[in-house]
Amino acid sequence: MTFGQQPQGNNNQYGNPNGPQQYGQQQYQYAQAPYGQPQYAYAPNGAAAMNTQAAYSYEQVQSAERASVTRAYGEMTIGLLITAVVAVAAQMTGAYIAFLQSTGLIGVILFAVIQVGMAVYLGARIMTIKASTARVMFYVYAALMGFTLSSIFLIYDLGSIGLALGMTALFFLVLTMFSMTTKMDMLKAGPILMVALIVLIISQLILAFLPVSGMTQIVCAIGLIIFAGMTMYDAQVTRALFAQYEAQGPDVIKKVSIVCALNLYLDFVNMFLYVLQLLGNRD
């Protein structure tokens, strides 16, 4: 008898047509529903325990998923703190200016290539390297980004930087909470966002060599919208990846959390830069 079927009586034994019918016996227990909910009749013995166990298992899965998502956002926050500390230190010590004076444009390009290479390597090889190695690489990447971002202190005043940082944090929080609670499936928008991101990068490269008056602000506004969508997309991807890899053990979860943290980190940094370009006052 499969679960959910009602017990049925056995037919008369063929060798004894006048004999008594033998019915399969089944014990029942009364299932008391909470007050205010409809009372269900009788449930097979053990069904209530099975339902309770299933609900408990579901709660365990949900709790583990929330803990994993929290881990990813925690790693992202640590990365942002490292970036901020390194940026401030590089500005106060003049290290970035000294680096530019000694290397020039070659140094800037070299830094960009190293950062892109680390991000690509980390995303492609995350399952083959140790979780501790992935974490160290992410923190080193955040430090390199902080060294590069120290250049904003040469362009914008502290008030503009603080305002842009606060607005980005609030914007990021709202987008994350919305994407985690809405029924809207942002995963379907992934291909569209990637195409838009490629077009954005090409547009910025063109404007770098062929500047057009007023186009920079428009591109920044479009970039902000794109990375707002990417933030919502990556938030739902983070939850989906943890649900997918939850059964593969804590080591895999640690690796996935690093990749998700990197994606969320890049969303935050790019949104911050676009907000700063749109609202910031240049020195």
Residues 6/41, Cβ–Cβ less than 8 Å: no
Instruction: Report CA-CA distances (Å) from 216 to 38, 173, 200.
Output: 62, 26, 11
DSSP 131: H
Find, among 65, 70, 69, 76, the residue nearest to 262 by Cα.
76
Q: Which residues pair with 43 in a beta bridge?
A: 29
Q: Is pLDDT of 4 > 80?
A: no
pLDDT per residue as tens digits for the range 101-151: 888 888 888 888 999 999 999 988 888 999 999 999 999 999 999 999 999
Residues 83/145, Cβ–Cβ less than 8 Å: yes
**pLDDT for residue 216:** 85
pLDDT per residue as tens digits for the range 172-203: 999 999 998 888 888 999 999 999 999 999 99
- Residues 16 and 26: their CA atoms lie apart, in Å, by 24
DSSP 210: S
pLDDT per residue as tens digits for the range 5-62: 444 444 444 444 444 444 344 433 334 444 444 444 444 555 555 555 544 454 555 6
User: How much is the pTM?
Assistant: 0.76
pLDDT per residue as tens digits for the range 206-236: 888 887 777 888 999 999 999 999 999 999 9
